[in-house]
Structure 1
Amino acid sequence: MFDLTSLANASGQRRLLVVVLYMLLFIAFDYVSYVKPFGTFGATPWNPQAGLSVSLIYLGGTVYALPVLLSASISDYVLRAAPLGFSLELLTSLATGFSHILCALLLQRFLPFDPRLRTVRDVITFVGAAFFTSALAAGLYTIVLATAGELGRGDFLHVAWRLFIGGLIGILVVCPVILLIVTLRPVPMVRRNWMLQFAAIVAAMLIIFGYRDATAFQLFYLLFLPLLWVALTYGTAGSAAALVVIQIGLVIGAEIRFGNDPGLAALQTLMIALTVTGLIVGAVVTEREAAAARSRDQQSAMNRTLRVRAAGEIAAAIAHEVNQPLTAVKTYASVASKALEDGNVDLVRLAIGKLSTQSDRAAQVIKSIRELLHQGQYTPAPIDLSDLLSEFVNLYSGNLQLAGVALTYSAPETLPIVWADKIQLSQALLNLVNNSADAIRGTSETGHISVAVDVLSPNSYAISVRDDGPGFPPSFNTEDPTLFVTTKAEGSGIGLSIARTVAEIHGGRLVIETSRRGAHVKLILPLERGRDAANHFDSR
């Protein structure tokens, strides 16, 4: 953002250069905007130099007050040979310059205002300050003229109104463009449709001033359409640029259409409504874009936080999953060591075989978790469900029995061969059985877990785990168990989530039933056989 102190703290040479540039622009603006003046004192319906003066004081501070106070009188001397005389020219210049300085200081020091006009509040604040100080400038200017006897009877309000309209529209149109050019960073990128938008403004102008069967005032509303288009595309910056183009077009069109008829003053009244509307709509768009950017930044920060947290949770998940085979490895290693001391070769051989099996199991578990976390490819293969349950129970029933928990299984005599990922199904079963065993050990010394498989229909089957523990608490969400949310003091909260993930990957779902007599968790999976099942999995 532009540093507002840079012009105020500029060196003498640079400050002089700023003053010279300001005076040249002031005189140029005064020259091109001197249309439809009232009398000899230049009460025109458009004074862009007012916006230039407010911008200089806002950006540079009161060190530039003197040139702003004298600029109007100097311009009148250069362009029109000071038709009011030295004293009146100086007094009217001081009156308007003071009002413009006041407007800038109100925005800079006393009102909540961002020169980038990023919010509706900024626009309303800006319009309010411009309205007040333009009315003040018009009043002071007209009072000076009336006191000097330069106004005829009934001219006071007419002249004051024209001065008010000209000064207000000059501030509203010119000041935002200057402030945005200096302060807005980054500069909005111009899109490819800018030529169409410019053409739409020109087309609206041609219709307003070229269609003779209707007055320009009746067709003025057409300008709202391209202005809103630009505002919705670029926000406040686009609105400010479009308003400058429209203002120049209005001055040129009024000069061609009305000639000596003072119709521009009436059009400028409508232009005020158009300007305020365009700036407010642009601010709304800018505000929403800024809110969306903040939301994206907050989401990115949250994602970074979640990734850091997830690293710890993944470590907890791995520890949870490999604890069982590592415990078994330790047990079998102790058995092998003791058998070796006793010379029992057969028991050593058996223990080493068990060690190898559990080591392979731990490696498969880690691989399984990695694939789950990365949503990797799953390899289905023909599976005999009876063999799957038999192997599973034989592998884990011994350790559970030592803890007082009996593990059994049941299956129909005839089961179809299904296509599924054996490792993932075993992993899901292990998580469910461990959850049941933990629940039983938390409330009693003994218990029973039953693993069963049932064909539900020609298209589905279920693998279920039932226990006689306390069941899930009433507060537990059985419809959608949340990852890392657990009912156990030492749990990691991933068991049910992994089981559900396995079910969903296989095209099925996880169903949880609970009561005081225990929990019943089912993996309901599609019954896919033969080549159709293989094709289904290959397409995933």
Structure 2
Amino acid sequence: MSPPPRMPLVLRIALIVAVMAAIFAVDTTTRYEVAAAVFYAVVILTTARLLGRRALVALCAACVVLTVASLVFTPHGDLRSGLINMGISVAAIVMTTWLVLKMETARAAAHEAQAQLLRIARIKSLEGLTTSIAHEVNQPLAAIVTSGNACQRWLAQEPPNLERARQALERILADAGRASGIIARVRSLTRGEPPQRSAFDFNDAVQEVLALSQAGMEINHIALTVELADGLPPALADRVQVQQVVGNLLLNAMEALGPVPAAARRLRVESARDGEAILFTVTDSGVGIVPGMSEHLFDAFWTTKDEGIGVGLSISRAIIEANGGRIWAEPVVQDGAVFHFRLPAAGAEPRP
């Protein structure tokens, strides 16, 4: 169900002016003892999100002027009570304006802090992928050098072996394409673009992240099992953001496997259809979830890592929920942990 259309800005301003005029009329025509001007504070509260700082200050000044004018034009009542009520009304208007301005400043600071946390989390995630990325890029580069040397040898023969040289050049082009693809995947994971929900192949997105993590798993002797369900409908979410969450869950699982003997390091990645949604699961045989820890796992700045900053899972939850999904964790019966998240499907028929 779509949200109701918002009232046009001009109409809202006209309504505010009408309300202020009504307050002025009531405050002027009633006795001094009636402090109707205090309702100008309500007007300021309701218009806080529509106006900038200068416009809000100007509105405050206008409300104060109208309050004083009401006192001047009020025809009857106890003047002393009127002065007291005017002072109370002016104080309420000024204090409300000050509080609103402070609140808007705090909200802007909170948005900036959130953006900064996203940048920090992205950098920390990249630190964990550095070894894997270097290994992945080094492989096609080393192959390019080998094929280049071979090509030189084939061309140096008498007569030159053009067929073998052509084959070596084809290998160079293919390996250069591999290196370019790796760099493109890394760039897609580090872009700080606003969320753009669209339909995409969920399994392909997961495979791209796994390709970046593969070398790190091999270096750390982690046995990886991948079970991606066939026939999944397209996911409806921001592809890059979802890949960031997948990468973060994989990194967390790899770190949890660090203290475990190499022979027992197992990691399973799964995707499945769950009604009208897609379910993603990462299971590890690591140190597991300590009792009482699960309720804090997704809290900002809460971490059990010596060098952690405690924002990875918090931001992952924010990303998944912003894309209409849910993320949660649960311990494994023996050792290890399981992390799940669900994302809405695009509603298309499952692919064959």
- TM bin, normalised by shorter chain, reads 0.5 to 0.7
Matched with 2:68 is 194
Matched with 1:361 is 185
Matched with 1:500 is 317
Q: How far 1:402 sits from its partner (Å)?
A: 2.6
Matched with 2:10 is none
Aligned length: 267
Matched with 2:22 is none
Change (3 A) 1:392 1:326: closer
**1:335 aligned onto 2:139:** no
Q: Deviations over 1:16-50 (max 9, x none)?
A: xxxxxxxxxxxxxxxxxxxxxxxxxxxxxxxxxxx
Change (3 A) 1:448 1:462: same
Change (3 A) 1:456 1:479: farther
What pairs up with 1:68-467 in 2 under 5 angstroms? 189=61, 190-200=64-74, 202-205=75-78, 224=81, 226-235=82-91, 289=95, 296=102, 303=109, 311=116, 314-315=119-120, 317-321=122-126, 323-324=129-130, 326-328=133-135, 330-332=137-139, 335-336=142-143, 339-340=146-147, 343=150, 345=168, 348-349=172-173, 351-367=175-191, 370-371=192-193, 376-383=194-201, 385-390=202-207, 392-393=209-210, 396-446=213-263, 447-457=265-275, 459-467=276-284
Give yes or no for contact 1:332–1:352 (8 Å, CA) kept in 2. Answer: no
Q: How far 1:423 sits from its partner (Å)?
A: 2.8
Q: Distance in 2 between matches of 1:330 and 1:394?
A: 11
Change (3 A) 1:525 1:297: closer
* Percent pairwise identity: 21
AA of the residue aligned to 1:456? D
Q: Distance in 1 between matches of 2:121 and 2:343?
A: 28
Q: Aligned match of 2:342 in 502, 506, 524?
A: 524
Q: CA RMSD in A?
A: 4.1
Matched with 1:6 is none
Q: Distance in 1 between matches of 2:177 and 2:279?
A: 32
Give yes or no for contact 2:327–2:339 (8 Å, CA) kept in 1. Answer: yes
| TM-score normalised to structure 2 length | 0.60
Give yes or no for contact 2:206–2:246 (8 Å, CA) kept in 1. Answer: no
Matched with 1:30 is none
Q: Distance in 1 between matches of 2:346 and 2:311?
A: 28
Q: Distance in 1 between matches of 2:211 and 2:305?
A: 26
Give yes or no for contact 1:462–1:525 (8 Å, CA) kept in 2. Answer: yes
Give yes or no for contact 1:440–1:470 (8 Å, CA) kept in 2. Answer: yes
Q: Aligned match of 2:306 in 489, 502, 511?
A: 489
AA of the residue aligned to 1:317? R
AA of the residue aligned to 2:123? I
Q: Distance in 2 between matches of 1:454 and 1:313?
A: 28
AA of the residue aligned to 2:122? A
Q: How far 1:227 sits from its partner (Å)?
A: 4.4
Q: How far 1:298 sits from its partner (Å)?
A: 12
Higher helix share goes to which structure?
1
Q: Distance in 1 between matches of 2:136 and 2:211?
A: 16
Q: Distance in 2 between matches of 1:297 and 1:381?
A: 38
Larger Cα-atom Rg: 1
Give yes or no for contact 1:461–1:527 (8 Å, CA) kept in 2. Answer: yes
Change (3 A) 1:336 1:424: same
Q: Which has the higher contact order (CA 8 A, sep 6+)?
A: 2
Q: Distance in 2 between matches of 1:475 and 1:454?
A: 29
Q: How far 1:204 sits from its partner (Å)?
A: 1.2
Q: Distance in 1 between matches of 2:179 and 2:287?
A: 34
Give yes or no for contact 1:390–1:409 (8 Å, CA) kept in 2. Answer: no
Change (3 A) 1:233 1:308: same
Give yes or no for contact 2:249–2:339 (8 Å, CA) kept in 1. Answer: yes
Structure 2: 5+ residue stretches without partners: 1-59, 152-167
Change (3 A) 1:388 1:379: same
Q: How far 1:439 sits from its partner (Å)?
A: 1.1
Matched with 2:16 is none
Q: Distance in 2 between matches of 1:389 and 1:442?
A: 26
Structure 1: 5+ residue stretches without partners: 1-187, 207-222, 236-284, 532-540
SS of aligned partner of 1:452 = strand
Change (3 A) 1:495 1:331: farther
AA of the residue aligned to 2:218? Q
